[in-house]
Amino acid sequence: MSTPDAIGWISCPQRYRYEAPRQGVLMPDSEAIIQLHEGRDFDEALDGLSGFERIWVVFEFHLNETWHPRVQPPREGEPRRGVFATRSPHRPNRIGLSCVRLLSIDGLQLTVAGHDLLDQTPVWDLKPYVPYADAFPDAQAGWLDDVVTARYEVEFAPGAAQVADWIAEHGKLDCVNFARVQLMTDPTDGERKRIEQQADGDYVISYRTWRLQYRVVEKSRMVTVTQIGSGYSETDLAVAEDRHDDKAVHRAFLALSGSSDLADSSSST
């Protein structure tokens, strides 16, 4: 049997695994492009698909090198489960399946929303979502039926939002998306996430070489990002080695944070 070829790939801002939600429905407005390959009559294969509100995307978890028979579910305090009883990406054949909203089709480009995909993800197949055949709302969900997942609202203080905009423009990283993906559930789980609790009760989560400081109010299920700072010290920035190729951005940020523009909204943590 011949090995199937990918029919296309994903184009979206999310490049790293921690930028994608564990389920696409958690980020319903996040958009991506499915770009199909040319020269394989895929324009004809798309005929009739535009009338469907949702489609299934069969794809490859291309960043995973190995699989694990037992995995840690993305819920604080849960024991390890067999990978076949989870939606973990660490699967024997790296095959993924997501149900996304189909917004439009333009030639060989499909715009979708509510996804959990990463940029350059290979796409293997597309199928229409058919409600009467694909939806079983009363079906039992195994161990998940006993799990209560609290959802938190994530907001940015004005100064932190200003810094996030600056990083998006100059550092090409989306702090807002990252914070929502990582902190909408289990915002204090330092075992699975790069979270550290501060002495005053605040928390800091690492996003690449940036540090987001935030406060959690359990009663209202609210997470507020209060500050965003560089993860580099002055000593780090004095070293020529630049593994992440972003020290110039951090130097510019720290220089700007000493001015009135960002002085009240940034700090090195």
Q: Which residues in 170-198 are b (16+ Cβ under 10 Å) and which e? A: ebebbbbbbbbbbbbbbbeeeeebebeee
In CATH terms, are 8-144 and 153-257 the same topology? no
Mean pLDDT of 64-74: 88
Give 72 or 114, the one with higher predicted confidence: 114
pLDDT number for residue 190: 87
Q: What is the pLDDT of residues 165-217, one digit of tens each?
A: 999 999 999 999 999 999 999 999 888 899 999 977 799 999 999 999 999 99
Fold held by 153-257: YaeB-like fold (3.30.2310)
* CATH number of 8-144, picked from 3.30.1130.10, 2.40.30.70, 3.40.710.10, 2.40.160.40: 2.40.30.70
| CA–CA gap between residue 73 and residue 80 (Å, rounded) | 7
pLDDT in tens, 123-175: 999 999 999 999 998 998 888 777 767 899 999 999 999 999 999 999 999 99
Q: Is pLDDT above 60 for 269?
A: no
Mean pLDDT of 90-113: 96
> Pairing mode, if any, of strands 81-82 and 70-71?
antiparallel
Domain ranges of the chain: 8-144, 153-257
pLDDT in tens, 40-63: 999 999 999 999 999 999 999 999
Give the model's pLDDT for residue 241: 94
pLDDT confidence of residue 125: 97
